[in-house]
Amino acid sequence: MDVVSILRKKRQRISRYEIRVAGDQRDDVHPHVFTAIRIVHVVEGDIAVDAVRRAIELSATKYCTVTANLASGAAEIRHAYIVRDAAGEEHYGEVVVTGPDESPDALGRRSEAPAI
């Protein structure tokens, strides 16, 4: 809900919002903790890509307590987006990586969305 709230404050027109989540769990030892989590925010509407990117960044690094709790353990969490704009064009980008082994500044941008 952080992302939607931030986008509304930025006066972005959202017509559809979906979150896709996939994760990898350790299976060799109990408990089977998550070792990686991928979150893709799919946003449609008359929206600026930069606004989506900043909203996800703020949610992931400042406001989301779930991300903070999971990232403080063994899991690396990658936050990304897909924006389908009013013209029907699709834009993909990765925003931030949180977790014990990654610096958010170490994230490289991709031009193609991973399968989730």
Taking Cα atoms as reference points, which of 103, 67, 64, 81 lies closest to residue 17? 81
C-alpha–C-alpha distance, residues 109 and 106, integer Å: 10
For 70-84, the pLDDT digits (tens) are 777 778 889 999 999
- Note whether residue 31 is domain-resident: yes
Answer yes or no: are the C-beta atoms of 79 and 93 closer than 8 Å. no
Place 113 in a pLDDT band, splitting at 50, 70 and 90. low
14: its two tokens:
């959202």
Provide the number of structural domains found in the chain: 1
Residues 6+ apart with CB under 8 A from 90: 82, 83, 84
76: its two tokens:
């690396």
The CATH number of the domain where 26 resides is what?
A: 3.30.300.20
Other CB atoms within a 10 A radius of the CB of residue 87 amount to: 6
For 1-15, the pLDDT digits (tens) are 899 999 999 999 999
Answer yes or no: are the C-beta atoms of 19 and 55 closer than 8 Å. no
Structural domain boundaries, residue 68: 2-103
